A = this chain, B = another copy of it.
Amino acid sequence: MKLGEIGEDRLLNQLALGKAVFAGAGDDCAIVEIPGSKKYLVLKTDCVVESVHFVHRTSASDVGWKAMMRPLSDFAAASAVPQFALITLIVPQKTKVAWVRGLYRGLRRAASRFDVSIVGGETSNTSGPIAISVSVIGFVEKSRAASRRGGKPGDHLFVTGRLGNALKRKHLKFVARIAESRWLTRNFPIHAMMDLSDGLGADLPRLARASKVGFDIQLKNLPVARGATIDKAISEGEDYELLFAVATRDRNRLEREWRRNFPKLLLTRIGSLNRKSQVANRKLPLGYVHFQQPR
List residues of chain A with CB under 8 Å of any chain B CB.
1-6, 8, 11-12, 14-17, 19, 21, 24-25, 29-30, 32, 34, 36-37, 41, 43-49, 51-53, 84, 86-88, 90-98, 100-101, 104, 107-108, 111-112, 117-129, 131, 133, 135, 137, 139, 290-291
Contact = CB atoms under 8 A, between A and B. Distances in A.
Nearest to A5: B97
Contacts of A87: 15, 45
B122 A45 contact: yes
Contact of A3 (B8, B86, B93): B93
Nearest to A16: B118
A43 B88 contact: no
Given A32-B84, A86-B44, A133-B45, A14 B126 contact: no
Identify which of A11, A51, A88, A291 gathers the most chain B CB atoms within 10 Å of its CB. A88
Contact of A137 (B14, B17, B43, B94): B43
A130 B278 CA distance: 38
A127 B126 contact: no
Identify which of A6, A49, A101 gathers the most chain B CB atoms within 10 Å of its CB. A49
Given A108-B17, A126-B128, A135-B135, A43 B3 contact: no
B131 A90 contact: yes
A41 B37 CA distance: 13
6 contacts: A11-B123, A16-B121, A29-B120, A48-B124, A128-B128, A133-B133
Contacts of A112: 17
A53 B119 CA distance: 24
Contacts of A90: 47, 49, 90, 131, 133
A291 B24 CA distance: 36
A49 to B, nearest CB: 5
B119 A24 contact: yes
Identify which of A96, A117, A122 gathers the most chain B CB atoms within 10 Å of its CB. A122
A145 to B, nearest CB: 14
Identify which of A4, A49, A104, A120 gathers the most chain B CB atoms within 10 Å of its CB. A120
A94 B124 contact: no
Contacts of A1: 96-98
A233 to B, nearest CB: 24
Contacts of A108: 15, 17
Identify which of A14, A25, A131 gathers the most chain B CB atoms within 10 Å of its CB. A131
A117 B32 contact: yes
Given A2-B96, A125-B49, A120 B16 contact: yes
